Amino acid sequence: MTVDSREWRLIARPHGEPEPADFELATVTPPDPAPGQVLVRNDWLSVDPYMRGRMNDVESYIPPFGLGEAMTGGAVGTVIASAADTVPVGAVVSHFYGWREYAVLDAAAVQVVNTEIAPAQAYLGVLGTTGITAYAGLTEVAPVKPGDVVFISGAAGAVGSIAGQVAKRLGAAKVIGSAGGPAKTARLLEEFGFDHAIDYRAGDLVGQLSAAAPEGIDVYFDNVGGDHLDAALRTMNLRGRIALCGAISVYNDTEPAPGPSSLPLAIGKRITLRGMNVGDHLHQAPEWIGKAAGWLAEGALHAEETVVDGIDQALDAFTAMMSGANTGKMLVRLPHNG
Ligand SMILES: NC(=O)c1ccc[n+]([C@@H]2O[C@H](COP(=O)([O-])OP(=O)(O)OC[C@H]3O[C@@H](n4cnc5c(N)ncnc54)[C@H](OP(=O)(O)O)[C@@H]3O)[C@@H](O)[C@H]2O)c1
């Protein structure tokens, strides 16, 4: 089967915010699958904040995108040709060869997903690394105990919106979320079950946080870094726990951001700050998927998606997500006409 496949390539390293000129959308013709391989038609692509780091030429836990090469990232798709006994035509699979329409992959590089318990794209969001990050962050990294006061930044986003609901499930007495703008803070209260919502764009983060939690914060799930981390350090209780999950406020910075000026407070307050990488917590995937799929079926877990259509829109979807256009998981849907 011969198909043409469009794929996004990084062609220049962005300085600050990524520009369209840093990328190109190229067309290739993937080869037929060799023995042991499958041809996957991607149906959904994930765009994620960590991809910004991969656009820089810096050493990290994951290599940078190569210049002139197709970018990679989470995707789910349908097997349309197979030369592998283990993965038949028609199987819906998740894999790491997103940012393109079609991919020829070794069978070992794809994971067949169960679309009877949730739609395929859920494996890029609530049932994928997004959900596992939220769950692991609040169970293994900065464990929530019944009665805790929990603060979550980036709370209307993919990880944050699930984390708020997980915190409640774990018995938190109060869950506070921060997000950008009144529309998002309203949704935190009305749809995602937060007890208090802070609009960080309105300023005075410390004042807003102290007003929401006069008793102090026990657990902070940090998606944002910068001022949010500083405000959390100032309002944390003795022996508070902080999961350092992300620092999206600095991902486009061109100079190193100063550290939080309130960090010394962590000494007297005996605060634990622990960085996390979801890759260290994939052992929790079966447990999380089992729980989350059940809650989704009962309507007891709200997993929002913001969907953008078309491979040509994938770059815009990424930059829009970075500036807050999404609520819940930002996804790119690839329509296939036959
Ligand atoms: N450690 C890990 O293993 C791991 C795994 C997954 C994700 N993460 C991290 O978790 C965080 C959330 O990821 P996600 O996939 O769930 O993305 P997301 O929250 O769905 O999308 C990013 C959100 O960041 C917010 N944002 C952008 N600039 C900001 C700023 N200057 N200050 C405050 N908020 C800002 C925007 O929401 P507003 O409209 O509210 O500003 C935007 O919607 C990211 O930092 C990501 O790197 C880490």
What are the tens digits of pLDDT across the range 211-268?
999 999 999 999 999 999 999 999 999 999 999 999 999 999 999 988 999 999 999 9
**CA 197 to each of CA 4, 161, 176, 192: distance values in angstroms, whole numbers, following the listed order:** 47, 12, 6, 10
Q: Are strands 5-10 and 23-28 parallel, antiparallel or unpaired?
A: antiparallel
CA 77 from chain center: how many Å?
19
In the prediction, which pLDDT does 335 show?
87
Q: Compute the distance between CA of residue 281 and CA of residue 284 in angstroms, rounded to an integer.
A: 6
Q: Are strands 111-112 and 149-152 parallel, antiparallel or unpaired?
A: unpaired
**Residue 181 burial (C-beta neighbours within 10 Å; 0-12, 13-18, 19+):** middle
pLDDT above 70: percentage of residues in the chain: 99
Question: Pocket residues for ligand 1 (CB within 6 Å)?
Answer: 48-50, 129-130, 133, 154, 156-160, 179-180, 184, 200, 223-224, 245-246, 248-249, 276-278, 321-322, 324, 326, 330
Residue-wise pLDDT tens digits, 49-64: 999 999 999 989 999 9
Q: Compute the distance between CA of residue 146 and CA of residue 250 in angstroms, rounded to an integer.
A: 32
In the prediction, which pLDDT does 211 show?
98
> Residue 268 corresponds to which tokens in the numbers above?
């007297």
Mark residue 198 as left, alpha or beta (left: phi above 0; alpha: psi -120 to 50; beta: remaining): beta
Q: Compute the distance between CA of residue 273 and CA of residue 65 in angstroms, rounded to an integer.
A: 29
pTM exceeds 0.95: yes
Confidence band for 338, pLDDT divided at 50, 70 and 90: very low
Tell me how far the alpha carbon of residue 193 lies from the centroid of ligand 1, in angstroms: 19
Q: Compute the distance between CA of residue 209 and CA of residue 175 in angstroms, rounded to an integer.
A: 11
pLDDT at 208 over 60: yes
Q: Compute the distance between CA of residue 289 and CA of residue 312 in angstroms, rounded to an integer.
A: 31
Ligand 1 atom closest to residue 249's alpha carbon, by position in its atom list: 31
Q: Compute the distance between CA of residue 235 and CA of residue 285 in angstroms, rounded to an integer.
A: 32
CA nearest neighbour of 40 among 85, 72, 75: 75
Ligand 1 atom closest to residue 180's alpha carbon, by position in its atom list: 40
